[in-house]
Amino acid sequence: MKKTRACGPVTVGDTTIVPLEHVVSRSWAIGNGFLAYLCKEPVGVVVISPRGTWAVTAAGEDLPLSTAVQEVQGLREILGGFDQSGSQFEPRRE
């Protein structure tokens, strides 16, 4: 199973970073035993600041925030806890 999820936000001053990660888990039954493989991989971040809210991939490319909200498990709930002041889903980078 592979899914993308939002991690706990980190706030420094008036800027909050929400890490995004892929989680891969696989398991196999082998004879009388069990084998499991688990891996977490960073894939991007969402930045929430007074200048706006935007998403960036780990490669540094802009990611449409509306796409991230649809595809990343838990991101909508995390963003819902912040006052977006009309900037929701509007990237504003200088």
Would 60 be classed as within a structural domain?
yes
Query: What is the per-residue pLDDT for 90?
Result: 45
Give which of 33, 37, 34, 7 is closest to 25, Cα–Cα.
37
| Mean pLDDT score of the chain | 85
Would 17 be classed as within a structural domain?
yes
Identify the domain containing residue 70 by its residue range. Answer: 2-80
Would 88 be classed as within a structural domain?
no
Query: What is the per-residue pLDDT for 94?
Result: 46
Would 42 be classed as within a structural domain?
yes
Q: pLDDT band for position 13 (50/70/90)?
A: very high
Would 55 be classed as within a structural domain?
yes
Number of domains present in the structure of the chain = 1
**Which residue has 């888990």 as its token pair?**
25
Would 22 be classed as within a structural domain?
yes
Tell which wins on pLDDT, 7 or 88. Answer: 7
Distance CA 60, CA 20 (A): 13
Residue 93 CA: distances (Å) to CA of 15, 26, 43, 58, 60: 13, 38, 20, 17, 13
Query: What is the per-residue pLDDT for 81?
Result: 78
